[in-house]
Amino acid sequence: MVFEILSYGFMHRALISGIAIALMCSIVGLFLVLRRYSLFGDALAHAAFGGIAAGLFFGIYPIWVAFGVSVSSALGLTKIRQKFQISGDATVAILLSSGLAVGVVLISLSGGFTVDIFSFLFGSILLVSLENTILILGLAGSILIIILLLYRQLVYTTFNEEQAKVSGIPVEKLNYLLVTIAGITVVSSMQLVGILLISSLIVIPNVTAMLFSRGFKQTAILSMTFAVSSVVTGILASYTFNIAPGGMIVLISIVIFSVSLGIKSAGLIKNKTIIPSIKQV
Amino acid sequence: MLMKVVEIENLTVDYQGILALDKVNFSVESKDFLGIIGPNGAGKTTLFSCMLGLLNNYKGEIRFFGTSIKKSKKYLGQIGYVPQKPAFEKNFPATISEVVGMGLTKNSKKDKIDEVLQKVWLHELSHRRIGDLSGGQQQRVFIAKALVNDPQILILDEPVTGIDSQSKELFYQILLDLNQKENITIIWSSHDLDAVAKLASKVACLNRTLFFHGISEEFFHNEDLLKMYSESSMQMHMHHHED
């Protein structure tokens, strides 16, 4: 059965795109979660929805408009937070509702789109084209390389901005880079789980990994493992049982999280060191 | 004659009409152990923020190793900084080794991490998560991080606030060793006059203006200076309550 599923071309594209998106979302998400930006991805996805609607309304390829809107919203939001000292959750709420409002207004002005807007809302990874697969692979590869090259600076800035600044790290530039990467990640991931479920891919694998791991690298590797497992199992299960892949992927990641919580609360695995401690001073 | 590693000239910081620092002048010589004392709101953290390039809208001049910090930020590579209580997410997934490694520059060797952890007596806990340590242990991790690039100057902003007395003693011993055995210049702000009297070779008394800078014994053996300091601190305390 599994071998039969894996022989289809659309399944190859779905799995390759899905794995690339899972890797990208989990590593970018780790930085967002630790900066308390967990809902930032959700806000950018809703802004991208406005971009999708604008693209469809004006007859421009919607994904490109969504990229533009998502990245400019991410940069604008960061600038507003810095300049006007508005709290993070309030700016996220503003962006989230304005993106959705623009989308709803444009949809009603057009009298409804012929293109299935539900594919953007809930994802359609099994329908991903070869061109989009290549685009997703290119973006995911570039983002992973950037993160690897700037790994220490990004971790340090996430840990403590003030100390990173004193060490000569260009904190503000890195912050803008990270939100730009987040904007690109969100739009790339829309085809996998859809606008409404994106934040789950960014948040759940990381929170699950943090239950077990002690170090940053360990957390990143565990998070990527959980994300890839959820995506692969979700795609295969969704085809087998004829269920929407987006919802299936998120449900599987929630199952992994719940089982992890159970293991953790039962005390089967501890994330504390097993090295004998010296006298506590 | 010892080299002047830090020179502060007429440093003035004005927060919208309120003077946080007013024409502060002093210098720090190589191998000094300078204790900066002053009440809350005296401008100690503002002074450090200017010195570390975190605050730039000041008047006056700050020079490290003879060069104005407005001209070059290279001096930051020669400085280790330990903040009052570093703000980080309690569940942040980073081991002690990873936290110390954050301070490494491209050219540093990774075995420096073990070396500096040994200096602060934490080498056996290097795989622990930072959030699992006590406040005193965490501050020692931040000293290790500050030392990882072999700095010439260590700046510490009230580093033992909220730490138990046993941990304080160990912390102070580490600072003394760094100053006396490794010749690291230390600039340390503190509320703890007894500790400053015991450890510091020089003292700077700050209360928005600098009203004493010199040899530690001169300050602590001078009844008039001590009286002036306590009156000044009291005035600042009252002023805070009126605000």
Reduced 3-state DSSP string for A184-247? HHHHHHHHHHCHHHHHHHHHHHHHHHHHHCCCHHHHHHHHHHHHHHHHHHHHHHHHHHCCCHHH
Whether B207 is in a domain gets the answer yes
- Give the pLDDT score at A279: 36
Residue A165 sits at the chain B interface (C-beta within 8 Å): yes
Residue A159 sits at the chain B interface (C-beta within 8 Å): yes
Whether B135 is in a domain gets the answer no
Closest to A56 in 3D by CA, of A101, A111, A96:
A111
Whether B139 is in a domain gets the answer no
> What ipTM was predicted for this assembly?
0.83
Helix (H, G, I), strand (E, B) or coil at A55: helix
Tell whether the model's pLDDT for residue A231 goes beyond 70: yes
Q: How confident is the model at residue A115 (pLDDT cuts 50, 70, 90)?
A: low
Residue A144 sits at the chain B interface (C-beta within 8 Å): no
CA atoms of A75 and A89, how far apart (whole Å): 16
Burial A10-29 (b: 16+ CB within 10 A, else e): ebebbbbbbbbbbbbbbbbb
Q: Of all residues in chain A, what percent are helix, strand and coil, respectively (each to 5)?
A: 80, 0, 20
Cβ separation B93–A155 shorter than 8 A: no
Host domain of residue B47: 4-89+152-242
In sequence order, which ranges of B64-164 are alpha helices (DSSP H)? 96-102, 112-119, 135-147
Contact call for residues A190 and A116 (beta carbons, < 8 A): no
Query: Looking at residue A72, what DSSP letter applies?
Result: H
What total of structural domains would you count in chain B? Answer: 1
Q: Give mean pLDDT, residues B38-49.
A: 88
Q: Which of B48, B74, B92 to mutate to test the interface with A (most CBs of A within 10 A)?
A: B92
CA atoms of B67 and A56, how far apart (whole Å): 58
- In the block, which residue shows the tokens 């002048």? B25
Tell whether the model's pLDDT for residue A281 goes beyond 70: no
Q: How confident is the model at residue A273 (pLDDT cuts 50, 70, 90)?
A: very low
- Give the pLDDT score at B169: 87
Query: Looking at residue A277, what DSSP letter applies?
Result: P
- Give the pLDDT score at B71: 85
pLDDT digits (tens, 9 = 90+) for A121-159: 888 888 888 998 999 999 999 999 999 999 999 999 999
- Give the pLDDT score at A272: 47
Q: Of all residues in chain B, what percent are helix, strand and coil, respectively (each to 5)?
A: 40, 30, 35
Tell whether the model's pLDDT for residue B100 goes beyond 90: yes
Whether B13 is in a domain gets the answer yes
pLDDT > 90: what percent of chain A? 46
CA atoms of A238 and A124, how far apart (whole Å): 11
- The residues near A45 (Cβ < 8 Å, ≥ 6 apart) are A70, A186, A190, A195, A196, A198, A199
Minimal-distance CA residue of chain B relative to A36? B89
Pairing, β B59-64 against β B67-68: antiparallel
Tell whether the model's pLDDT for residue B202 goes beyond 60: yes
Contact call for residues B128 and A273 (beta carbons, < 8 A): yes
Phi, psi of B27 (to 5 degrees): -135, 160
- Would you state the structure tokens that stand for residue B201, as one six-digit string? 């070779």
Cα end-to-end span (Å), chain B: 46
Whether B238 is in a domain gets the answer yes
Whether B190 is in a domain gets the answer yes
Question: A239 exposed, middle or buried (CB, 10 Å; 0-12, 13-18, 19+)?
Answer: middle
Cβ separation B124–A275 shorter than 8 A: yes
Minimal-distance CA residue of chain B relative to A222? B93
CATH of the domain at B19: 3.40.50.300
Tell whether the model's pLDDT for residue A278 goes beyond 50: no
Q: What is the mean pLDDT of chain B?
A: 86
Pairing, β B59-64 against β B4-15: antiparallel
Domains assigned to chain A: 2-265 (1.10.3470.10)
Whether B183 is in a domain gets the answer yes
Contact call for residues A143 and A25 (beta carbons, < 8 A): no
pLDDT digits (tens, 9 = 90+) for B122-170: 888 889 999 988 888 898 999 999 998 889 999 999 888 777 888 888 8
* B73, B86, B95 ranked by CB distance to A215: nearest: B95
pLDDT digits (tens, 9 = 90+) for B87-97: 788 889 999 99
- Give the pLDDT score at A268: 65
Degrees (nearest 5) of the Cα angle B21, B23, B24?
75
Give a three-class secondary structure readout of B188-219. Answer: EEECCHHHHHHHCCEEEEEECEEEEEEEHHHH
Phi-psi region of A159 (alpha: psi -120 to 50; beta: other; left: phi over 0): alpha
In sequence order, which ranges of B71-192 are alpha helices (DSSP H)? 96-102, 112-119, 135-147, 165-180
Question: A146 exposed, middle or buried (CB, 10 Å; 0-12, 13-18, 19+)?
Answer: middle
Whether B30 is in a domain gets the answer yes
Contact call for residues A197 and A122 (beta carbons, < 8 A): yes
CA atoms of A235 and A239, how far apart (whole Å): 6
Which residues in chain B are closer than 8 Å to A213, comparing Cβ atoms?
A: 93
- Would you state the structure tokens that stand for residue B52, as one six-digit string? 């570390």
Tell whether the model's pLDDT for residue B236 goes beyond 70: no
Which residues in chain A are closer than 8 Å to B79, comparing Cβ atoms?
A: 166
- Give the pLDDT score at B234: 62
- Would you state the structure tokens that stand for residue A125, as one six-digit string? 């990874």
Contact call for residues B148 and B101 (beta carbons, < 8 A): yes
Contact call for residues A88 and A37 (beta carbons, < 8 A): yes
Cβ separation A281–B167 shorter than 8 A: yes
Q: What is the mean pLDDT of chain A?
A: 86
Minimal-distance CA residue of chain A relative to B132? A272
Contact call for residues A202 and A193 (beta carbons, < 8 A): no
Helix (H, G, I), strand (E, B) or coil at B243: coil
Phi, psi of B5 (to 5 degrees): -90, -25
Tell whether the model's pLDDT for residue B241 goes beyond 70: no
